[in-house]
Structure 1
Amino acid sequence: MNKHAKHIILNLVTAVAVTLFFFGCEDNSGAIQKFNQRNDGPSAEGEGVVLKYTDSGKVVATLKTPLIIEYGLADFPYEEFPDGVEVTFSDDNKKENYITSDYAIRYKRTNLIDLRQNVVLITSDSTRLDASQLFWDQKNKWVFTDKPYTLKFPDDSFNNGDFFDSSEDFKNFISLDNQSRMYVKERATATPNDSVQ
């Protein structure tokens, strides 16, 4: 074989190899990106974290935790607080309320917080709730549980039960299967000028 024929064969082999290389390679950038962004593990972790939540530029809640693990790439993103939380939040009258628990999960899309193990909620008027689990709907300012709880009011009223559904300030309170002692203020005696409607 002459030198010119070897050169043509070498060029043909090179062209075929390059063609096979390009056809053999497909766009795997999506798969590589998915691999780099696994959604079965945490996307971030933080120690000694203090989070401040604002509404219209005002701080409405402060959360402190020794450890936060964020699962931001999961199908239903959430934050886990395996070592517990301390939350201070302000009510509509700018009075502070407190919640602590040994474990918590915050679901980011719904703003629902699942507090577990030694949950204690103390409102600004000294109402105290103790429960093994409490769900807190931050958006609707609502708390509820289907676990045993004890609720003590400042006037020594109490409510113990296995289920309740209530506003954050306990003004609208529904409880089932419970024992309670409640004090009711008597209304002043009606005068002749009072009208009943």
Structure 2
Amino acid sequence: MIKRTILYLLIAVAVSSCENDIQAVMEFDSKKAATENGVDIITIFSQGGKVNAKLMAPSMERSLDKPSYVAFKNGLKVFMYNDTLGLESTLSAKHGKYLEDEGDVFLSDSVIVINKKGERLDTKELNWDPKRKIFYSTQEVFIKTPTDSLHGWGLEANEDFSQKKILKVSGPITVQDSTAALN
């Protein structure tokens, strides 16, 4: 009889100790439900039936909380194409974040852009403003062309990096002799 009473008492204690705080469970579920994760990401961007870009990333996290965003914490690589699917430029970074409501993109840590002319941009941070259709940075930038190397702080460039402007140039700049073509 004593053994049976002790057994019932232990079962009652065990069952009552397993109670969860409903508020804590709801908070945990809402945080968990507000995030989507993916691995081995490949995304094709198109507009008007034409492919513009292809994004590849080992992982992605999408937050559904406001402001909603998509984060690439383990790097990403983007291939940008022209109207005939010719490769215009490639972009890579160790981290990226896309703000879904605004459409803005923020890239950081070892950002590299190489265009079809073989020009290479290296910077710690690069942003894309889709409304103005430009890339920009306020950080230190290095641009290497087949004939020159440029260094400075701040950058504005069009979407295919065919036109770019360093805001504060530093170091020597090589200028071609315009009269050489006349001789």
Q: When you count strand as a share of all residues, which structure comes out higher?
A: 2
Instruction: Name the CA distance, whole Å, in 2 between partners of 1:177 and 1:146.
Output: 12
How far does residue 186 in structure 1 lie from its aligned partner after superposition? Answer: 1.8
2:44 maps to which of 27, 52, 66? 52
The answer to whether the aligner puts 1:90 opposite 2:91 as a matched pair is no
Counterpart amino acid of residue 163 in structure 1? G
- Number of matched pairs: 155
Equivalent AA in structure 2 for residue 157 of structure 1 = D
CA apart distance, 1:159: 1.6
**Contact 2:69 2:98 (C-alpha < 8 Å) held by counterparts:** yes
Deviations 1:158-185 (A, max 9, x none): 2211212222324242421523424336
Q: Does 1:101 align with 2:89?
A: no
- Aligned mates of 1:181, 1:93 — CA distance in 2: 35
Q: 2:66 aligns with which of 66, 75, 79?
A: 75
| Corresponding letter in the other structure for 2:103 | N
1:170-181 correspondence to structure 2 within 5 Å: 170-181=162-173
The amino acid of 2:158's aligned partner reads: S
Give the deviation of 1:64 after TM superposition: 0.4
Structure 1 residue matching 2:77: 3-state secondary structure: strand
Q: Which amino acid aligns with 1:77?
A: S
1:122-175 Cα shifts (integer Å, max 9, x gaps): 011111001111112245331111111101123x22221121222232424242
Bigger drift between 172-181 and 145-154 goes to 172-181
Tell me which moved more, 59-68 or 41-50: 41-50
User: Sequence identity of aligned pairs in percent?
Assistant: 19
Q: Is the 8 A contact 1:95 1:124 kept in 2?
A: no
Task: Kindly indicate whether the alpha-carbon contact (under 8 Å) linking 1:157 and 1:183 is maintained by their aligned counterparts in 2.
Answer: no
Shift of 1:119: 0.7
Q: Does 1:148 align with 2:140?
A: yes
Structure ID, larger Rg: 1
Give, in angstroms, the shift of residue 112 of structure 1.
1.8
* Residues 53 and 81, structure 2, Cα contact 8 Å, conserved in 1: yes
Q: Any stretches of 5+ residues in structure 2 without a counterpart?
A: 1-25
Task: Give the match for residue 131 of structure 1.
Answer: 123
Letter of the 1:81 counterpart:
F
Paired position in structure 1 for 2:15: none
- In structure 1, stretches of 5+ residues that fail to align are 1-33, 190-197
Identify the residue that residue 66 of structure 1 maps to in structure 2: 58
Change in CA separation of 1:50 and 1:132 when aligned onto 2, cut-off 3 Å: same
> Contact 1:40 / 1:74 at 8 angstroms: preserved in 2?
no
The amino acid across from 1:120 in the alignment is: I
